[in-house]
Structure 1
Amino acid sequence: MSTVLVLCINLALCKVRLKKLDSLIIENHLKTCVIDQIQNGEEDRVVAELLKLFDYKD
């Protein structure tokens, strides 16, 4: 197997793992910080964060 192919495969695996990590971080943030913000009456802040998140994911 060529070195370039091995590097491409490793890069693809890294991207998959980073995407999974990204999802876990976002999920944790939603389950903790966002819930706290909603309970503390900071709905506008939550909406702003979610809109930024959608922009980030595109």
Structure 2
Amino acid sequence: MTFEEYLIEKKIDGPQFQAAEPAVYTEWKTLFAQMHPESFTTQKKFLVNKVRRKYLLR
């Protein structure tokens, strides 16, 4: 699973997130590549929810 596929699964608009917060997007993408998606979700659970509310995929 790629980071972009993960964002779609979590209903996050990846391009909008990347444009608005490029540093956070890059940091998350790097971390995601280094761990299992479930571990990433566990580590960033509350932050993922916050980002989803800001950049909801429609």
TM-score bracket for this pair, using the shorter chain length: 0.3 to 0.5
Q: Which structure has the higher relative contact order (CA within 8 Å, separation 6+)?
A: 2
TM, length-normalised to structure 1: 0.38
TM, length-normalised to structure 2: 0.38
The structure with more radius of gyration? 1
